Amino acid sequence: MANTKSALKRMRQNEKRRVRNRAVRSRVRTAIKVARVALGDKSQDVRALVSAAIRSLDKAVTKGVVHKNAAARKKSALSRRVASLS
């Protein structure tokens, strides 16, 4: 347990950030999963869903939740699968 006031404050900050980061990461994972399912089903709005997933990845990078290279890798994989459809 923290002993100093600054350590207690740091614990509060870390908890807030953890919850916020978890929400962002969850949103990204959901968007990617929806896009992958749409790619598998070859549904009509695949491009819109992939675009939404890429947008959520970019937002996560901006917020510092996901590393930019990890996001680039995931975006590339989604883009490759979209390209293979046409």
Confidence of residue 1 (pLDDT cuts 50, 70, 90): confident
Q: How far apart are the first and last CA of the chain?
A: 57
Q: What is the pLDDT of residues 3-51, one digit of tens each?
A: 899 999 999 999 999 999 999 999 999 999 999 999 988 888 999 999 9
| Residue 68 in domain | yes
- Under a CB-based contact definition with an 8 Å cutoff, are residues 27 and 56 in contact? yes
| Residue 1 in domain | no
| Residue 3 in domain | no
- State the pLDDT at residue 57: 97
Name the residue range of residue 71's domain.
Answer: 8-85
Among residues 76, 77, 60, 79, the alpha carbon closest in space to that of 68 is found at 60
Q: Stretch 50-71: mean pLDDT, rounded?
A: 97
Q: Stretch 60-68: mean pLDDT, rounded?
A: 96
Instruction: Give the CATH number, domain containing residue 21.
Output: 1.20.58.110
| Residue 62 in domain | yes
Query: CA geometry: angle at 23 spanning 51 and 2, to 5°?
Result: 150
Phi, psi dihedral angles at 43 (to 5 degrees): -75, 170
| Residue 2 in domain | no
| Residue 53 in domain | yes
| Residue 78 in domain | yes
